[in-house]
Amino acid sequence: MPAEAGEAARAVEHAARAAYGRLVAWLGGRSRDIAGAEDALADAFAAALATWPREGVPRRPEAWLLAVARRRMIDAARRRRTRDDAVATLLLAAEAEPEAAAFPDERLMLLFVCAHPAIDPAARTPLMLQTVLGLTAAEIAAAFLVTPAAMGQRLVRAKEKIRTAGIGFRIPDAPELAERTEAVLQAIYAAYGTGWEAAGPSALATEAIWLARTLAGLLDDEPEALGLLALLLFCESRRDARRDGAGRFVPLGAQDVALWSDTTLAEARGLLGRAAGFARIGRFQIEAAIQSVHAARRESGETDWPAIALLYEGLHGLAPTLGVAVGRAAALAEVQGPAAGLAALAGLAGDTYQPYWVLRADLLRRLGRADEARVAGERARALTADPALRAFLAGGVAATEA
């Protein structure tokens, strides 16, 4: 029975959102050719848009898409006729076409492939975002502050590397699993971070949380995976409080705790507790613990800065990144005064890391060094595209989102 064009388009869009990553993972995994899988899928989506209005939306849309994409890839491989592509053909042809319900979800495997050390480090997170989340090169470029052309090139090269060098499509064995899990966790954290600036619901943040959830589900004896999910949920619980009714930026210390999400907080706290049970501390668990101290303001009415400062000392020992160093400096400023915070910033190169300049401006202002504060504040403003944040910073009061 023919479907309305609109109904067909919605079905395609739904399948794309729900199944893109799973389809790329399955097809790419068997052919080792992610770019080829993406192209074949694009063809399949186009074919769906053309035929479903005429023939009706299939009972199992994902199976339909998989079958069409798979046949495209087999045909393309046969036409190419080189030795290795013949291997790909055999791989594809040998496996019986899976039932839609049964076609395995290999997105986690795809994440681990994207984190392979043979891939350019600057390409790993973008690859995950594109292949598992279906983001476009342009969207990813905006998040990473490079041009779409540069990001497109980076992604093409990375996928070419995977194919030509023959990177294996599997979840790595024990010793490498630990190394690569770290890379995957960092990439998910980065993905969430790039969705953080948005006011209101962010698809990217939502996807990052979904990835963290999947990872935590599959690596159920890895406390850092639980820690990352807890961290993201603590941050997410505050999303509604980050802007006031007029859309203005509200820093963490000034947020209305009643707007923080109960259920999300409860889940985050539960996860952190479970992670602690493993007694294997790691950076994401500590970051989550810091967030849980912030969240405790909801019950206690105040922020336990000494506890946060202590946690940052531990975190800095494990992961001395610029972000952690800035967070530590902010906490020190609260406990020991702005001069101590400024001293902690002294050895750091702020470059284009916006929170560094935000904190610096705030501390200088508190020390009465108005001219220097203004210079730092302008730098902070210039480094964010978020109009609400820019407006807030222009107001002369710095934001500390520690």
Nearer to other proteins, 177 or 397 (CB): 177
- Report how far apart the first and last C-alpha atoms of the chain are (Å, whole number): 57
Binding-residue total with other proteins (CB under 8 A): 12
Cβ-contact 55, 12 below 8 angstroms: no
Nearer to other proteins, 174 or 258 (CB): 174
Q: Which stretch binds other proteins (CB under 8 A): 162-170, 236-244, 257-265, 325-333?
A: 162-170
To which residue do tokens 């990835």 refer?
211
Q: Which stretch binds other proteins (CB under 8 A): 165-173, 247-255, 289-297, 356-364?
A: 165-173
Half-sphere exposure of 124 toward its Cβ, with a 13 Å CA cutoff?
22
Cβ-contact 204, 191 below 8 angstroms: yes
**Rounded-to-integer distance, Cα 359 and Cα 365, Å:** 10
- What's 60's DSSP letter? S
Residue 285 one-letter amino acid: Q
Nearest to 44 by CA among 31, 25, 63: 63
Secondary structure of residue 342 in the 3-state scheme? helix
CB 84 to other proteins: min, Å: 7
**Rounded-to-integer distance, Cα 161 and Cα 56, Å:** 40
CB 85 to other proteins: min, Å: 10
Cβ-contact 290, 311 below 8 angstroms: yes
**Rounded-to-integer distance, Cα 242 and Cα 259, Å:** 9
Q: Is 35 in the site for other proteins (CB under 8 A)?
A: no
Q: Is 5 in the site for other proteins (CB under 8 A)?
A: no
CB 34 to other proteins: min, Å: 14
Q: Is 160 in the site for other proteins (CB under 8 A)?
A: no
Among 56, 98, 172, 251, binds other proteins (CB under 8 A): 172
Q: Is 84 in the site for other proteins (CB under 8 A)?
A: yes
Nearer to other proteins, 109 or 402 (CB): 109
Q: Is 168 in the site for other proteins (CB under 8 A)?
A: yes
**Rounded-to-integer distance, Cα 76 and Cα 239, Å:** 46
Site map for other proteins, 63-82, x if CB under 8 A? Answer: -------------------x
Among 83, 96, 245, 300, binds other proteins (CB under 8 A): 83
Nearer to other proteins, 115 or 216 (CB): 115
Among 5, 50, 90, 118, binds other proteins (CB under 8 A): 118
Nearer to other proteins, 110 or 211 (CB): 110
Nearer to other proteins, 99 or 179 (CB): 179
**Rounded-to-integer distance, Cα 225 and Cα 241, Å:** 26
Q: Is 157 in the site for other proteins (CB under 8 A)?
A: no
Q: Is 166 in the site for other proteins (CB under 8 A)?
A: yes
Q: Is 165 in the site for other proteins (CB under 8 A)?
A: yes
Nearest to 232 by CA among 202, 277, 276: 202
The pair of three-digit structure tokens given for residue 376, joined into one six-digit string = 């730092």
Nearer to other proteins, 37 or 402 (CB): 37
The pair of three-digit structure tokens given for residue 149, joined into one six-digit string = 């052309």
Nearest to 92 by CA among 108, 120, 69: 69
Sites of contact with other proteins (CB under 8 A): 32, 82-84, 118, 164-168, 170, 172
